[in-house]
Structure 1
Amino acid sequence: MYTGENGYITRPELKDKMKEAVEACIELGLYVIIDWHILSDNDPNMYMEEAKIFFAEMAQLYANYPNVIYEICNEPNGVDVTWNDDIKPYAEELISVIRQYDRDNVILVGTGTWSQDVHHAADHPLQGDHIMYVAHFYAGTHGQELREKIIYALDKGVAIFVSEWGTTLASGDGGVFTQESDVWLNFLYEKGISWVNWNLSDRVEDSAVLLPGAAPEGNWSDKDLTPSGAYVRSKLREIN
């Protein structure tokens, strides 16, 4: 659920379409992340009150479904947005709201610098159970330096979840970096870190799974997949 970018803040009716997706995942027995997708609104506090109302409703609706995960701020960013001063206080407020209705489901908390500064969160973690800290990476842009931050955070005893990664540059383009993606996925498997790939769409973008014009109803074949989509599907099949 994008907040800006012509998203929820200006078009709250989008929430109904999101609920359709959540309920379809519940019916199919899939994990589903309800993602408050901040981006251009770099400080999550910008729309805190709207977020509290939104997640109060989501927690009341889906507390009894253990496959529902709440991601309360996608990618905090900007030099003035820090863990201690901005992100952590916001997370404390949102976690309190969710836990009024849902004591158990996982809550994902974005970290600074587009969800890369997991080490800062590990130094000053939140109180409570079933909280995980988010790391995002793009294989063509981010490498060992970010993996070291994740190792540091794990050594501090916090839980990490990769709720967005791509096979490309951080722009979403620049080709598919399969060797670098292999290094990342092997690292995540070794550390027991779950991941979600960006993105299942037919955008004209190298990180997209589908070629432009792929059928919106699904039932895709090999010819509908981009190189990134074919790579990610092969990795999912290896897991199973």
Structure 2
Amino acid sequence: MTVDFWTQVAAYFRNTPHVLFEIFNEPQGISPEDWRREATELVSVIREQGARQPTIVGGTEYSRDLSWVLETPIEGQNVVYAAHIYPAHAQSSWAYYFGRVSESYPVLITEWGFMEENPSAEQPYLNGSAVGYGQPLMSYLDERNIGWVACWYDDEFEPPMFQPNGKGYTSYGEFVMDQLSQVP
């Protein structure tokens, strides 16, 4: 099914240069070897349709772990590796999971964020702050020229950028807007 999807989508968007492809969100329960094989196939399917846009390949363990890339990168052009990094992922582990990879390959943080005002009981890995997590992460990314995206513009999905009903920003939303305002 995924191969059929990418065959159709890549063919449709192959001449649309501002479209990026992320082949699969948060692979988990799969070994790095098996995921590399699957990801290589999907990147090949996309390229076979004539699409040359950047193609994003997430790490294993819910896109947290890119360490396998150093030994067995995906072959091909315009492959970008995605990591999802949250407050529960200790800063001391960032080099292992994605920092060292960024020294040789493009890395993009496609999910990150924190919940400060209303800590999540359902998703405690999100509980953090701008001072304890956000700023150290941005500094780490800036020092290594690693890009990031604010992955959801929402007031419900955690971590939300807005207060309920869109009435103002959460501290995470304020932090994102502040970071974006600093981009030249």
Provide the TM-score with structure 2 as the length reference.
0.86
Unaligned runs of 5+ in 1: 1-49, 215-222
User: Alpha-carbon deviation of 1:191?
Assistant: 1.3
CA distance in 2, matches of 1:183, 1:162: 14
Q: Number of aligned pairs?
A: 178
Match of 2:182 in 1: 238
Among 112, 126, 134, the alignment partner of 1:165 is 112
Kindly provide the amino acid, as one letter, of the partner of residue 48 in structure 2.
Q
Match of 1:68 in 2: 19
- Of structures 1 and 2, the one with the larger relative CO (CA 8 A, separation 6+) is 2
Cα RMSD over matched residues? 2.1
Unaligned runs of 5+ in 2: none
Match of 2:164 in 1: 212
Residue 64 of structure 2 contacts residue 85 of structure 2 at CA under 8 Å; is this kept in 1?
yes
CA distance in 2, matches of 1:56, 1:87: 19
Among 38, 60, 70, the alignment partner of 1:90 is 38
Is the deviation greater in 229-238 or in 110-119?
Answer: 110-119
Kindly provide the amino acid, as one letter, of the partner of residue 12 in structure 2.
L
Match of 1:125 in 2: 73
Match of 2:150 in 1: 197
| Distance change >3 Å, CA 175–CA 184, structure 1 → 2 | closer
CA distance in 1, matches of 2:50, 2:111: 24
Match of 2:4 in 1: 53
CA distance in 2, matches of 1:77, 1:178: 30
User: Alpha-carbon deviation of 1:97?
Assistant: 1.1
User: 1:197 aligns to what SS in structure 2?
Assistant: coil
Residue 75 of structure 1 contacts residue 114 of structure 1 at CA under 8 Å; is this kept in 2?
yes
Kindly provide the amino acid, as one letter, of the partner of residue 197 in structure 1.
A
Residue 204 of structure 1 contacts residue 212 of structure 1 at CA under 8 Å; is this kept in 2?
no
Match of 1:113 in 2: 61
Residue 13 of structure 2 contacts residue 51 of structure 2 at CA under 8 Å; is this kept in 1?
no
Provide the TM-score with structure 1 as the length reference.
0.67
Among 80, 83, 94, the alignment partner of 1:146 is 94
| Distance change >3 Å, CA 180–CA 131, structure 1 → 2 | same
User: Alpha-carbon deviation of 1:100?
Assistant: 1.4
Residue 155 of structure 2 contacts residue 163 of structure 2 at CA under 8 Å; is this kept in 1?
yes
Residue 84 of structure 2 contacts residue 110 of structure 2 at CA under 8 Å; is this kept in 1?
yes
Instruction: Kindly provide the CA deviation profile for residues 145-176 of structure 1, in whole angstroms up to 9, marking residues without a partner as x.
Output: 12343232134x22211111112486464353
CA distance in 2, matches of 1:141, 1:236: 23
CA distance in 1, matches of 2:11, 2:75: 22
| Distance change >3 Å, CA 136–CA 166, structure 1 → 2 | same
